[in-house]
A and B are shown apart, each in its own frame.
Chain A
Amino acid sequence: MAIVELHGLRKFYGGRDVLSGIELAMGDGELICLLGPSGCGKSTLLRIVAGFIIPDAGQVLVGGRDVTKLAASKRQMGMVFQSYSLFPNMTALDNVRFGPRVAGAPKAEQVKRARELLDLVGLSSHEAKFPHQLSGGQQQRVALARALAVQPQVLLLDEPLSALDAKVRLQLREEIRRIQRDAGVTTILVTHDQEEALSISDRVAVMQGGKLLQVATPAEIYRRPADGFVARFIGSGAVFAGRVERGHVRVGSMLLRADASATHADGSEVEMFIRPESVQIQAHDGELPDGTVAGTLSESVFLGGLTRMRLTLEGPDNHSLWADVPSEHAEGFKPGHKLIAWWEAAAPRVMPLSRE
């Protein structure tokens, strides 16, 4: 277990910055998710921490020790891969005891440790099976046990759930969290699945274009995204680009209700982001009270208790606005109905306009 610090990490490939100026500090026993779209550099960052890639600049410190140029085999970091990567010629037990075995631990100790870990991941009865005799979820559990067998300073999980079906993914996600908490091991998990990141992490690091855009708790990321990209990437919602006008946001002919006067000067260019759960709607009876906008219901998506509705706002730009409505209320609205929408002034997140 250790504190991990990444300082000024940079990596270039083919004249392109794959990672630039990464600064990140992780606490002891913390689980942090690197979240971002494909190609954002999250796997490269994980592989730098693992020791498979040497950065062009910057440092990786584990427990205060500089391991930037240390071979992967000397770093004592357990890693779980997307493709399971169990050794096909070994049983589950032999896979798990591989780490202690190459470290020279006595055989009895290797086997004891491996059995304890297989028990931890609920696979005691499968110890004699070869990888091809196990399901995907079981293989990934064995891979997790194998990574923990080396008593890693840091546990690295590279999209460990991506290859699994939805039900197994959900189950294993919870198990990973439980085991990680029990073991108290500092963990970095790479994923492109925002739901996975928000549900499992102590903190989420959102990446884009080789940069860390925001590192915060899942609730903070969700409620207070740092910029338009984070807002769009995490959860759902509508983003409007406009200018601040008397604390509200002017988007074309619409003046959208907001509370930006304290943070943004009048006339400054901003992006306004509002989540569907903050938006309320009702039928348009001809009046348009202050602080409301008018639109036409374009589509409804039934989500169980809620129905997500998309309104196309009036105006030349056909902006869309999403609203989550209790399903029993949504039944009265049909596509093509004229509606008005409103929200609390404090609900929207107003951010400086992102130039990227």
Chain B
Amino acid sequence: MNRLGVGGWAILVVAALFFGTPLVLTAAFSFWEGGDRYGFEVYGLLWNSPKLFEAMALSVELSIATVAALIVLMVPAVICMNLFAPKLRPLFEFIATLPFVVPAIALVAGLSALITGPEWLIGTPFYLVIPYFFIALPYAYRSIDVGLRSIDLATLTEAGQSLGANLGQIILMVVLPSLRSALVGSALLTLAVVFGEFTFANVLLFHTYSVYINEIGQHEVTAAAALSAASFLLTWIAMLGVLIAGGGKTGPSGVR
């Protein structure tokens, strides 16, 4: 109380009302069954909808694939940039900013026109991993880069080398465990981005979670409200995960 002061608390309450009211009302609306009746009918309907779980499963699979692609490609790239080519940092920053400034619809149009590839990729929903990689790139890059900057990567690498370890061993045994918070943060942010992404999936005709919400909203508006509220909850849980991962004390695999 003392640290925030009256003004601080007032701002906090106004912000909580501003952001919380629509969410609470959306959640409340999801219980509406017409007239003055409220209940869990729509939740029962959703629970018995195989399409919902298919869409959720697809979004989870795409999230995992995107997280894997980002970690496999970005972690070595950002480590190498920090170790061997720090002068390339502005280029990395620029590339990591591009997804913010290019509209999703422009990306999807370009992607449809330009990307060709094997049927196992282009003909399946995993095609979405390519655009998802790019839209999650800014979050993943920043998270990993901040994590790497918080450890003295160059000296730790030299220390490892002087003890006889090669670069691969150093990355696996020292750098990655020290980046736990950064990697968890990056993964959860990517998960949130992929779960909420609508444009690519809708235009490319894949039934992800967000596309399912949109579809069901066409004829069952309270179900869409229920899923929207659930999406918020999911995202907040992901954010909480980021905070917990980043706020832990140094332990067997954390760095502070």
Contact = CB atoms under 8 A, between A and B. Distances in A.
B113 interface: no
B178 interface: yes
A146 interface: yes
Interface in A217-255: none
Contact of A72 (B152, B161, B178, B250): B161
A130 interface: yes
Interface string A120-147: 0000000000111100000000010011
Interface stretch (A20-28, A79-87, A280-288, A320-328): A79-87
Interface in B155-179: 155-156, 158-166, 169, 173-174, 177-178
A149 B160 CA distance: 13
A72 B253 contact: no
Contact of A130 (B161, B165, B251): B251
B250 A132 contact: yes
Interface residues of A, number: 34
B253 A132 contact: no
A132 B252 CA distance: 12
A71 interface: yes
A130 B162 contact: no
Given A88-B178, A88-B250, A73 B166 contact: yes
Contacts, number: 83
Contacts of A51: 161
Contacts of B174: 87, 89-90
Interface residues of B, number: 26
Interface string A89-104: 1100000001100110
Contacts of B169: 102
B164 A88 contact: no
Nearest to B256: A132
Nearest to B155: A85
A76 interface: yes
Nearest to B179: A89
A150 B178 contact: no
B164 A103 contact: yes
A149 B161 CA distance: 14
Given A130-B251, A132-B250, A89 B163 contact: no
B254 interface: yes
Contacts of B111: none
A263 B163 CA distance: 50
A50 interface: yes
Contacts of B158: 50, 52, 72, 79, 81, 85
A156 interface: yes
B155 A83 contact: yes
B178 A87 contact: yes
Given A52-B158, A87-B174, A89-B178, A150 B164 contact: yes
Contacts of A149: 163
Among B162, B177, B251, chain A packs the most CB atoms within 10 A around the CB of B162
A98 B165 contact: yes
Contact of B252 (A85, A89, A131): A89
Contact of B152 (A78, A85, A103, A143): A85
A130 B256 CA distance: 11
Contact of A73 (B161, B178, B251, B252): B161
B165 A78 contact: no
B34 to A, nearest CB: 57
Interface in A12-52: 50-52
A78 B173 CA distance: 18
B237 to A, nearest CB: 26
Contacts of A118: none
Contacts of B156: 85, 87
A88 B155 contact: no
A52 B161 contact: yes
A183 B253 CA distance: 33
Contacts of B160: 73, 87, 98, 102
Contacts of A99: 163-164
Contacts of A81: 155, 158-159
A260 interface: no
A99 B169 CA distance: 11
A102 B164 contact: yes
B240 interface: no
Contacts of B251: 130
Contacts of A85: 152, 155-156, 158-159
12 contacts: A72-B161, A72-B162, A76-B164, A79-B159, A81-B158, A86-B159, A87-B173, A89-B178, A99-B163, A103-B164, A132-B256, A143-B159
**Minimum-distance CB pairs A-B, first 10:** A99-B163, A79-B162, A89-B177, A72-B161, A85-B159, A102-B165, A85-B155, A73-B161, A88-B255, A132-B250
